[in-house]
Amino acid sequence: MIYFPIFPAEGGFIAVQSKEVEGLEDVILMGADGIKSETFIEAAGDAAEGVYASGPLTAESAAYEDFLQKYVDRYGEEPPAPFAPESYDAAMLILNAIQQVAVEGEDGTLYIGRQALRDAMYSTSGMEGLSGTISCNEFGDCSTASVEFAQVQNGEFVPVESE
């Protein structure tokens, strides 16, 4: 197995090269979340077939479907990166924390204490996001604790079930 935690274009290059180098034609390839996208499949072409990737669990909620439709309506295509739900959730986590701690001065200036903002973010628990229910710990690690493994089958990433 060759594991390559890398971005889509470079990952595509690695997948293509693995099919061209003698002795590597049948090696199992696996990448991290950076390649779990349509961009990787396009870059790798036929060499993408059979490649595994780990990454965020594919968002499948009504909230995500609503977000996706609004994105497509605005930009004419789906988000190009696999992290759109997580990016949206990160922004909302920060904005929610700002809303909790911001103080408006008499002149209308908005004051946001750094430590107060940090504490508000770190204490986030049970936030319903597009990617799932998000909680943070005392170190600032925030996640849904949901990861999936997928494999390129017939030109698209398909979740792989454990046996």
d(CA 19, CA 67): 38
Q: Has residue 145 got a pLDDT over 80?
A: no
d(CA 137, CA 143): 9
d(CA 160, CA 163): 9
Domains parsed from the chain with CATH numbers? 2-57+146-159 (3.40.50.2300), 62-143 (3.40.50.2300)
The answer to whether 2 touches 27, Cβ cutoff 8 Å, is yes
In the numeric block, which tokens belong to residue 109? 């200036």
Write the pLDDT tens digit of every residue in 83-109.
888 899 999 999 999 999 999 999 999
Write the pLDDT tens digit of every residue in 43-90.
999 999 999 999 877 667 788 899 999 999 999 998 877 688 889 999
DSSP state for residue 57 in the 8-state scheme: P
d(CA 163, CA 144): 23
Q: Is 112 left (phi over 0), alpha (psi -120 to 50) or beta?
A: beta
**In this structure, how many other beta carbons lie within 10 angstroms of the beta carbon of residue 143?**
16
pLDDT value at residue 85:
87
d(CA 22, CA 119): 54
The answer to whether 130 touches 61, Cβ cutoff 8 Å, is yes
The answer to whether 148 touches 55, Cβ cutoff 8 Å, is yes
Q: What is the pTM of this model?
A: 0.71
DSSP state for residue 58 in the 8-state scheme: P
